[in-house]
């Protein structure tokens, strides 16, 4: 099969109804993430909002990947990590287009969250994290709405693969 025919085949798959629904879900998740981050950025600045004994809203700019891993001051490393994230998003998008049913939904959730954080990396050169879950002085990593969707999607993917293989 020629390269042009492969591109045509992928394009026709993109136009299938279930793929359109997937892209709508990705867009909804992306905008939920954007709205939450815009509200937090405009409201918090240097302040912390105490929601209850277990949740604070505290704006932290994350230059690493999920949960602050691989944080570095090096522009080269930041750009390499950002490029790798872009490649992962394209790879997941291809898998989404070729998958069916529940997997299509799961990949849509992951991609929607990943695009939200990727957008921030391009625009702000960091990802705004703001949800601080804690018990007394024990704090979990600060995260955002996109991280919630990415994590839920990965957990669902693991469960799906486990039950599919068993």
Q: What pLDDT sits at residue 77? A: 84
Which of 128, 88, 79 is closest to 107 using CA atoms?
Answer: 88
Q: What pLDDT sits at residue 50? A: 81
Q: What pLDDT sits at residue 47? A: 76
Q: What pLDDT sits at residue 10? A: 66
Q: Phi and psi (nearest 5°) for 133?
A: -95, 130
Q: Whose structure tokens read 């994290």? A: 129
129 is catalytic: yes
Q: Is the pLDDT of residue 12 over 90?
A: no
User: E-strand spans in 12-141?
Assistant: 48-50, 55-62, 127-135, 138-139
Domain boundaries, the chain: 3-165
Tens of pLDDT, residues 68-118: 566 667 788 888 889 999 999 999 999 999 898 899 999 999 999 999 999
75 is catalytic: no
Q: Phi and psi (nearest 5°) for 11?
A: -60, -45
Tens of pLDDT, residues 120-161: 999 999 999 999 999 988 888 889 999 999 999 999 999 998
Cα(123)–Cα(35) distance, integer angstroms: 15
Q: Is the pLDDT of residue 30 over 80?
A: yes
pTM of the entire predicted model: 0.85
Q: Which of the following is catalytic: 33, 58, 120, 129?
A: 129
CB 45 within 8 A of CB 59: yes
- Strand arrangement, sheet containing 48-50: 48-50, 55-62, 127-135, 138-139
Q: Which of the following is catalytic: 33, 120, 132, 147?
A: 147
């Amino acid at each position: 099969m020629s390269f042009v025919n492969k591109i045509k085949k992928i394009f026709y798959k993109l136009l299938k109804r279930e793929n359109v629904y997937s892209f709508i879900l990705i867009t909804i998740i992306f905008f939920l993430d954007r709205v939450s981050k815009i509200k937090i950025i405009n409201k918090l600045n240097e302040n912390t909002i105490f929601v209850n004994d277990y949740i604070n809203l505290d704006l932290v700019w994350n230059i690493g990947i999920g949960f602050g891993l691989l944080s570095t001051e090096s522009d080269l490393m930041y750009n390499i990590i950002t490029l790798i994230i872009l490649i992962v998003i394209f790879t997941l998008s291809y898998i989404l287009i070729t998958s069916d049913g529940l997997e299509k939904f799961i990949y849509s959730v992951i991609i929607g969250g990943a695009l939200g954080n990727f957008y921030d990396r391009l625009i702000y050169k960091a990802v705004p994290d703001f949800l601080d879950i804690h018990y007394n002085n024990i704090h979990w990593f600060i995260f955002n709405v996109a991280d919630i969707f990415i994590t839920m999607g990965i957990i669902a993917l693991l469960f799906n693969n486990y039950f599919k293989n068993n």
